[in-house]
């Protein structure tokens, strides 16, 4: 089973101080640690598990700057065969639609049975690239996938999707297909430092706009359907009330408040 | 899969005479199927070992009782670490271990806490920050767990209080301090350890560090014995503080606080067994006015490990039968009539505090670091 996985190199904002750039269209990156977007890490693991069971090869793709090689190398260290990075100044300002278009151009002539993406990226959380990419590639998709079952040489596979209220939906899907992978579907393996160092020897293919059959107007801001107006940090409003007194007094006061507010 | 031929050479296993002193002294043999003597034997007679099927190799706390007892000078604890390397370098580790390793690589600490929060414990203390241009004779290397853990932060504050009282010229590295790598190495992540060694040596050079005192015996041990190229004096705080007291630079108020109690002491394996520091912690405790010191029966070289070392803070035991060693320790202390178990290691403090809760001994016994007792008596 040949699999293409799309990943994104994003800032890990664990307890980090987030500051907005002066142009209000991004965050300041100094001092931030970058890593693979969490759901994409699960997508990589799912691809590795499928490969271990059915054979085939995995290609990892990213649209991003040179620093994204760190994420690609981590994927190579885990057992991915090929990696390619799509980098071009003219891609800058691409929204989810234009990003999906860049990926679609890179993927469309490849041989694959499955395309995997994370369900959404940790930074913009838009959850659109995967499903848009499926549409552009003209293949079926399933989003929010929480488990996969495949059989040797079958042209269909079974996937479970997570729905609201704890429901699971089971789908059969025709291959090739695109799945957006939900976190928790597996336990991603660890990429050791020695493994990553060894992966330094593997080639990362670098593609720019001229390598794709795309016009300049099809990417970047010109090729986007949405444009980012501004980013801001919501104003913190202090609305907490601290109740004081004995447990009996506090609980009765709390009950009164909840009743008055129409919560219970 | 571990190919044994090279491994046997690398760890000098042909030197093993199968005398069994390692296994006979192993504190984990009380609770785990871990049998280091048998593992060495298998490595000698088989071509390969399926380490994936040997979950007990993760039970070892690398306390090094086996190493201390081996008449042939082998290091059985590190043989197990060598086996863990096969698993870790192949990416096959428990999620808790994976998260600790990834966090250490990204944020310089195994607790998945932000780099920018590392020195928050010292925010109101106005300490010299050597990474911000201040100069001092001594670097106080705080360590990851003391920096981030709410309970252990009380120890670092007690340390600062004592250092200031004694007029010690010291500073910290603030948010630039990173993990020493001791536990990462013992989790089988040699590459990450090497990375941290390089990073730390560069930091120490950049800020012209000439002498260091650590909170944790784990940091102390690795800096002192495992950092090639570190050329200044490293001390555990118990050595440093015992010296301050002996030279009269740190004096107690002289009044016996009415709260002074019967205290016993848990020898941290990385301080005692691995570095022979047994006397200094006891000297500090015995110098505290009014404190009644009683030693455990199993103390010093025979001390019972708390199960917090060797990466075990991130690995649950493979077998859940039997009592945790820290629980045994709490019960032993109660039988001894102790009201406090004094510790000199953040991991001992956390494992013993858990054991106080799980044995229902809350109220009967307290876990306090030596520095907390010192600070109380100043």
B41-88: pLDDT as tens digits: 999 999 999 999 999 999 999 999 999 999 999 999 999 999 999 999
Chain B residues in contact with A197 by the CB 8 A cut-off are 191
Strand intervals (E) in chain A:
3-7, 9-12, 33-36, 58-63, 82-86, 114-118, 141-149, 156-162, 168-174, 177-181, 204-207
Q: Decide if pLDDT at B258 tops 80.
A: no
The better pLDDT of the pair B322, B228 is held by B228
pLDDT of residue B15: 94
Q: Decide if pLDDT at B255 tops 80.
A: no
* Alpha carbon distance B177, B333 (integer Å): 36
Chain B residues in contact with A196 by the CB 8 A cut-off are 191
Structure tokens at B305: 């490990």
Q: Provide the pairing of β-strand B233-236 with B211-214.
A: parallel
B window 83-142, beta carbon within 8 A of A:
88-93, 95, 97-98, 101-102, 105-107, 112-117
What are the pLDDT digits (tens) for B298-353? 999 999 999 999 999 999 888 777 789 999 999 999 999 999 999 999 999 999 99
User: B76-89 vs B36-45: helix axis angle to the nearest 10?
Assistant: 70
Confidence of residue B260 (pLDDT cuts 50, 70, 90): low
Residues in chain B: 378
- The set of residues, in sequence order, having a beta carbon less than 8 Å from that of B70 and lying 6+ positions away, is B21, B22, B76
Contact across the interface for A190 and B93, Cβ inside 8 Å: yes
Structure tokens at B318: 């493979």
Residue in B87, B91, B100 to test binding to A, most A beta-carbons within 10 Å = B91
Contact across the interface for A15 and B117, Cβ inside 8 Å: yes
Give A191→chain B minimum CA distance, Å. 5
Give B273→chain A minimum CA distance, Å. 30
Closest CA to B336 of B286, B261, B262, B285: B262
Q: Decide if pLDDT at A252 tops 70.
A: yes
Confidence of residue A239 (pLDDT cuts 50, 70, 90): confident
- Looking at the complex, does the CB of residue B290 fall below 8 Å from at least one CB of chain A? no
pLDDT of residue A15: 85
Contact across the interface for A12 and B106, Cβ inside 8 Å: yes
As a whole-number percent, the residues of chain A with pLDDT over 90 amount to 85
Q: What b/e readout covers A191-211, taking b as 16+ CB neighbours within 10 angstroms? A: bbbbbbeebeeeebeebebee
List the end-to-end C-alpha distance of chain A, in Å, as a whole number: 53
Q: For chain A, which domains are there?
A: 3-218 (3.40.50.620)
Confidence of residue A30 (pLDDT cuts 50, 70, 90): confident
Q: Decide if pLDDT at A211 tops 80.
A: yes
Q: Decide if pLDDT at A264 tops 90.
A: no
Chain A residues in contact with B106 by the CB 8 A cut-off are 12, 33, 35
Q: How many CA atoms lie within 13 A of B289 on its CB side?
A: 13
Q: Decide if pLDDT at B33 tops 80.
A: yes
pLDDT of residue B340: 96
As a whole-number percent, the residues of chain B with pLDDT over 90 amount to 90
Note the pTM of the prediction, 2 decimals: 0.92
Task: Give the range among A196-210, B84-98, B244-258, B301-315 with minimum mean pLDDT.
Answer: B244-258
pLDDT of residue B259: 63
What are the pLDDT digits (tens) for A126-179? 999 999 999 999 999 999 999 999 998 889 999 999 998 889 999 999 999 999
* Alpha carbon distance A13, B172 (integer Å): 25
pLDDT of residue B301: 92
Q: Residue range B366-375: average pLDDT?
A: 96
Contact across the interface for B98 and A15, Cβ inside 8 Å: no
- Looking at the complex, does the CB of residue B198 fall below 8 Å from at least one CB of chain A? no
Burial degree of B247 (CB within 10 A; 0-12, 13-18, 19+): exposed
- Looking at the complex, does the CB of residue B52 fall below 8 Å from at least one CB of chain A? no
Closest CA to B156 of B372, B374, B378, B373: B372
Q: Residue range B116-127: average pLDDT?
A: 95
| Chain center to CA of A96 | 11
Mean residue pLDDT across chain A: 94
Q: Residue range A7-23: average pLDDT?
A: 91
Q: Give the Cβ contact number of residue A156 at 10 Å.
A: 12
| Chain center to CA of B90 | 26
Closest CA to B293 of B342, B329, B240, B228: B342
Mean residue pLDDT across chain B: 94
Structure tokens at A258: 């909840």
């Amino acid at each position: 089973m040949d699999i293409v996985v799309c990943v994104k190199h994003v800032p890990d904002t664990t307890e980090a101080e987030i500051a907005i750039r002066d142009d209000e269209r991004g965050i300041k990156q100094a001092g931030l640690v970058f890593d693979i977007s969490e759901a994409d890490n699960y997508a990589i693991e799912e691809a590795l598990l499928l490969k271990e069971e059915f054979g085939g090869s995995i290609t990892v793709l990213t649209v991003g700057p040179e620093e994204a090689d760190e994420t690609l190398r981590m994927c190579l260290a885990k057992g991915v065969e090929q990696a390619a990075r799509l980098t071009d100044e003219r891609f800058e300002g691409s929204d989810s639609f234009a990003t999906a278009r860049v990926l679609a151009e890179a993927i469309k002539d490849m041989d694959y049975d499955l395309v995997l993406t994370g369900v959404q990226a940790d930074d913009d959380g838009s959850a659109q690239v995967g499903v848009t990419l499926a549409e552009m590639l003209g293949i079926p998709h399933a989003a929010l996938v929480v488990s996969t079952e495949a059989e040797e040489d079958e042209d269909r596979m079974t996937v479970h999707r997570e729905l609201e209220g704890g429901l699971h939906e089971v789908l059969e899907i025709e291959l090739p297909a695109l799945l957006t992978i939900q976190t928790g579907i597996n336990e991603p393996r660890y990429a050791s430092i020695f493994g990553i160092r060894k992966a330094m020897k593997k080639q990362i293919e670098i593609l720019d706009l001229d390598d794709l059959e795309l016009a300049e107007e099809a990417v970047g801001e010109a090729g986007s359907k949405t444009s980012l107006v501004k980013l801001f940090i919501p104003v913190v409003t202090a609305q907490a009330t601290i109740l004081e007194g004995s447990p009996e007094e506090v609980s009765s006061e709390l009950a009164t408040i909840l009743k008055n507010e129409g919560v219970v | 899969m571990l190919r044994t031929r090279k491994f046997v050479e690398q760890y000098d296993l042909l030197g093993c005479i199968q005398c069994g002193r390692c296994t006979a002294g192993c504190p984990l043999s009380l609770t785990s199927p871990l049998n280091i003597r048998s593992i060495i034997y298998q490595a000698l007679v088989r071509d390969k070992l399926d380490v994936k099927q040997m979950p007990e190799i993760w039970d070892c706390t690398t306390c090094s009782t086996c190493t201390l007892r081996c008449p042939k000078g082998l290091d059985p604890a590190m043989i197990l670490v060598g086996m863990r390397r096969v698993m870790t370098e192949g990416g096959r580790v428990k999620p808790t271990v994976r998260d600790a390793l990834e966090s250490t690589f990204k944020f310089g600490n195994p607790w998945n806490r932000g780099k920018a929060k590392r020195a928050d414990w010292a925010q109101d203390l106005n300490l010299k920050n050597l990474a911000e241009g201040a100069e001092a004779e001594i670097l106080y290397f705080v360590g990851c767990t003391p920096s981030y853990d709410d309970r252990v932060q009380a120890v670092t504050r007690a340390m600062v209080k004592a250092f200031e009282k004694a007029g010690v010229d010291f500073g910290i590295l603030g948010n630039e301090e990173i993990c020493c790598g001791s536990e990462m190495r013992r989790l089988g992540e040699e590459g990450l350890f090497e990375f941290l060694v390089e990073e730390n040596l560069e930091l120490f050079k950049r800020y012209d560090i000439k002498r260091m005192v650590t909170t944790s015996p784990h940091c102390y041990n690795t800096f002192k014995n495992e950092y090639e190229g570190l050329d200044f004096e490293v001390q555990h705080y118990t050595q440093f503080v015992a010296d301050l007291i002996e030279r009269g630079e740190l004096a107690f108020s002289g009044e016996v606080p009415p709260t002074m109690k019967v205290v016993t002491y848990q020898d941290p394996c990385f301080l005692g067994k691995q570095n022979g520091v047994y006397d200094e912690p006891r000297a500090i405790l015995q110098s505290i006015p009014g404190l009644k010191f009683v030693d455990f029966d199993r103390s010093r070289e025979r001390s019972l490990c708390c199960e917090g070392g060797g990466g075990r803070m991130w690995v649950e035991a493979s077998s859940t039968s039997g009592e945790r060693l820290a629980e045994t320790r709490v019960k032993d202390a109660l039988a001894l009539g102790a009201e406090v178990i004094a510790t000199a290691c953040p991991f001992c403090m956390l494992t013993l505090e858990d054991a106080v809760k799980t044995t229902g001994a809350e109220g009967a016994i307290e876990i306090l670091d030596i520095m907390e007792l010192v600070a109380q008596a100043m």
